[in-house]
Structure 1
Amino acid sequence: MPGTRIAALGHYQPSRVLTNADLAWIRQRTGIATRRIADEDESVTDMAAAAAAKALAASGLAPAEIGLVTVATCTAIDRCPSIAAQVAARLGIPAAVCFDLNNGCAGFTTALACADHSLKAGAARHALVIGAEKMSDVTDWSDRSTCVLLGDGAGAALISATETDHEGIGPVVWGSDPTRGDAVRLQHAWQPKFAQEGQTVFRWATTELPAIAENACHRAGIATTDLAAVVTHQANLRIIEALTRRLDLRDDVVIARDVVDSGNTSAASVPIALSKLVERGEAPSGAPMLLFTFGGGLSWAGQVVTCP
C-alpha cells in the first residue's frame, strides 16, 4: 500500500474586509479583529475553484492527472452538479470522481481522510481536497453572539500517493456525539441560519477534545512535543488557546491563529490557516503538524501531516 503526502496548498479570500468597527463589537470576547465577506454574486464554487487552482498550479501537475476532487462545505446552494464537479469543470479536470462532503466545521479533515484512504487503496494517484464556505449567506445578523464570528473563504490541498509507505498523512481520528448535535445548527431548507449553543461548544471543545487530539498524535507514532505546528478549526481564539493549553506542546510550536483576521470560516478554516502558515514558512518542510477540526454534529476529525 502506498503512502500519501500533501504536495501543494492554496487559499482564496474575498477582498471585502469587515472590521469590528462595522459591527460595533469588541475583540476581547472572541479574539476576532476582521473577517472576509464575499460579494453577493461571489459563490462557494468561485472561492473553491480559486483556491484549488492555486494548489494545482503549485503542484506542477496537469489537470488530467487529478483523479479525485472533493469539496467540504455546509453552505453550498447547488445540490447537483456538486461544487466539486463544477470546480473540476473550471479547472479542466476531465474524468475525476467528484463529490461534496458536509461534516460542518470538521469537513476538511474528514474529506482529507477520505481522499487519503482512496489514494492508499489505489483509486487515484492525485486528489484535490477543498474546504469552501460562504458563511455570510447563512449568518443571522440580528444574533450578536454569532454574527461577529463568521467569515467566507476557501482553502485547498493537493495530495499525492507516494512510492513508499511513508505516512505524510497520518491515520485519522474521527467521530461524533450526535446526542449533542443540536449545539451547532444550520437548519430550515429555504433560509437556513447559523445558530449554536456557545457555552456548550466551548466546554466540549476545551475539556473533551484535547485527549482526542493527543490520540491523533499517538496513532501517528509521535508525541505532542514532536509537533512543529498545530492547526485547529478556527472557531474563536478563546477555544483555540484553551484547547492547545491542554496539550503538552513545546514553547516554540506554531499555533495557527488565522481566526483573528479571517473569522470562523467553518470547513474552510483549517485549509486557509494551513496554506497561510506554509506560505509564510512558519513550519519547516518535513516537520509534523497536527490538523484538528471540530463542530456541528458534534463531530471531530484530525490527523498528523508532514509539512510540504
Structure 2
Amino acid sequence: MTGISYRRPSSYSRLIGVGGARGDRIVPNGDLAEALERDDEWIRRRTGIITRRHASREVLVQHLAEQAARAALDASGVPAGEMDVIIVSTVTWMKMTPGLAPLLGARVGASPSAAAYDVNAGCAGFCYAIAQADAMIRSGLARHALVVGAEKLVDFTDPTERTISFILGDGAGAVVLGPSDTPGVGPTVWGSDGRKGDAIRTTHDWLEYKYADDFRDVPWPTAEQDGPTIFRWATSVAPHFAAQAIEAAGLTPADIDVFIPHQANLRIVETMAHTLGLREDAVIARDVIDTGNTSGASVPLAMERLLREGTVHGGQTALLFGFGAGLCYASQVVELPDAVGGDGEYHADAPTAMSESEEIGAGE
C-alpha cells in the first residue's frame, strides 16, 4: 500500500513586497467639528489625529484593495499568476457572497488555481492573515501569498457620533509573502476575548431591516465603541501579548528596530511602545496622525509609509501588532521587505480590471 505523499515544505516565509492606497480625500479635523460639536483641539488631544483619509463615494473598497495589491505585486517582482493564496482582511465588503478575495484575484490576474478567502477579525485581521499565509508557506501548502487589508469605513460612520467616527479613515495595504531559507516571519501570538466583544460594535443588526415593517425606519448600521474600555485594554493588557511575540521569536525588546501596531490612536500607540520598553532609537509607526484609523488596513499602510519615505529599510526587525473588534489580537515579528510599490495614494485614473457588475453602489 502506497502512503500519502506531500509537496516538500519550504522552511520559512518572508515579506518581499508592500504597497498601499489611501482614500482620495484629505479630511482635516475642522471639517468634522460642526457635526461633532467639538473643535480641532478636542480631537487632537484625544487621538493625535490631524487629518484622516476618506474615499469618495465612487471609490469602493475593491478599488482600494486592487491598487494596493498591484503595488505590492509590482514591488515583489512576482507575477499575480504565481500567487497560491489570496487573503483579504476586511469588515466593509458590502456583499455576503462572493467574498472580496476571489474577485480581487481575478482583478489582478491571479490563476484560478489560487485559493482566496476573506478574514473578518477587525483591526487584527491583517496580522491574522499574515499568520495564516506564513503557516501555508512553511507547510508547503503555498509558495507565494498575497495578503491585503482593505477598508472603506466612511460607509459605516455617523458624523455626529463622538466615540469613533472622527478617528476612522479609508485605505488598503498589501504585502506579498514568499519562501525563504531563513525565518522572515516569527511565530504568531494571537487570541480573542469575546467577553469584551461589544466594546467595538455596530449600532444595528441586519435582521432589523428584514423584519421591520418599513426598513426605511431602521437607521443604517454604524460603528461605535466604548473608548475607555478599549484604551485600558490596549495600554495595560495588549502589550503583554506583543511582548510574548517578541519572546516567541527568540528576541528581546532591544532587538526590535521598528514597532508597527494597529493605528488606533496616537496615545495608544505611544503608550504601548513605552510599556514594551523598546530602544530609544526604535522607529514607531505614527501613520494615524494623517491617515486615521483604517482598521485592518492600518498595519500594512503604516509599514508601507515607513518604507516608502525611507524612515526604515528592508531587513530591519519589526514588531507587528493588530488588535480591535472581538476583542481579537495578533502579533508577530517580521523582517521588513526590501521593496515598496507605488506612492501610497489612490489614483482614479489607474488601470484596473473593473467590470460593471463589480461596481456595487457606484454612482447610486
TM-score by structure 1 length?
Answer: 0.97
Stretch moving more, 151-160 or 24-33 = 24-33
Q: Which residue of 2 aligns with 1:101?
A: 119
Shift of 1:48: 0.5
More displaced 10-residue stretch of structure 1: 287-296 or 22-31:
22-31
Partner Cα distance (1:262, 1:140) in 2: 18
For residues 145 and 306 of structure 1, the distance between their equivalents in structure 2, rounded to whole angstroms, comes to 35
Q: What displacement does 1:194 show?
A: 0.6
Deviation at 1:2, TM superposition (A): 1.5
2:250 to 207, 221, 238: 221
Q: 2:233: which partner in 1? A: 204
Does the 8 A contact of 2:174 with 2:300 survive in 1?
yes
- The one of 311, 315, 318 aligned to 1:286: 315
- Number of residue pairs the alignment of both structures matches: 306
- Residue of structure 1 equivalent to 2:14: 5
Greater shift, 141-150 or 194-203, is seen at: 141-150
Could you give the per-residue CA deviations for residues 77-104 of structure 1, whole angstroms, max 9, x where no partner exists?
0222211111111111122101000001
Amino acid at match of 1:53: R
Query: Is 1:252 paired with 2:281?
Result: yes
Question: 2 CA distance for matches of 1:266 and 1:289?
Answer: 19
Secondary structure, aligned partner of 2:184: coil
Q: Residue in 2 aligned with 1:172? A: 188
Structure-1 separation of matches of 2:278 and 2:270: 12
Decide which moves more: 38-47 or 22-31: 22-31
> Are the equivalent residues in 2 in contact too, given 1:32–1:261 (CA < 8 A)?
yes
* 4+ aligned runs moved over 6 Å, structure 1: none
Partner of 2:92: 75
Q: CA deviation at 1:145?
A: 2.6
Alignment of 1:18-167 (within 5 A): 18-24=27-33, 25-26=39-40, 27-95=44-112, 96-162=114-180, 164=181, 166-167=182-183
Amino acid at match of 2:22: Q
8 Å CA contact retained: 1:140, 1:146: no
Question: What is the distance in 2 between the residues matched to 1:46 and 1:78?
Answer: 15
The CA distance in 1 between the partners of 2:205 and 2:298, in whole Å, is 24
- Matched residues in 1 for 2:98 and 2:193: separation? 30
Residue number in structure 1 paired with 2:200: 184
Distance in 2 between residues matched to 1:145 and 1:294, nearest whole Å: 17
8 Å CA contact retained: 1:133, 1:266 = yes
SS of residue in 1 equivalent to 2:195: helix
1:184 alignment partner AA: I
**Is the 1:131–1:156 contact (alpha carbons within 8 Å) kept by the matching residues of 2?**
yes
**Alpha-carbon distance in 2 for matches of 1:267, 1:67:** 22
Q: Is the 8 A contact 1:233 1:292 kept in 2?
A: yes
5+ residue gaps in structure 1?
Answer: none
Give the Å deviation of 1:283: 2.1
Q: Is the 8 A contact 2:101 2:118 kept in 1?
A: yes
CA contact (8 A) 1:68 1:124 kept: yes
TM-score (norm 2): 0.82
RMSD: 1.1
Q: Is the 8 A contact 1:135 1:150 kept in 2?
A: yes
Structure 2: stretches of 5+ with no match in the other structure: 1-9, 34-38, 210-219, 338-364
User: What is the alpha-carbon distance in structure 2 between the residues aligned to residue 298 and residue 91 of structure 1?
Assistant: 32
Moved more, 184-193 or 292-301: 184-193
Taking the aligned partners of 1:285 and 1:97, their CA distance within structure 2 comes to: 28
Q: Equivalents in 1 of 2:222, 2:281: separation in Å?
A: 39
**2:330 aligned counterpart, secondary structure:** strand
Q: Partners of 1:36 and 1:112 in 2: how far apart?
A: 24
Q: Does 1:17 align with 2:35?
A: no
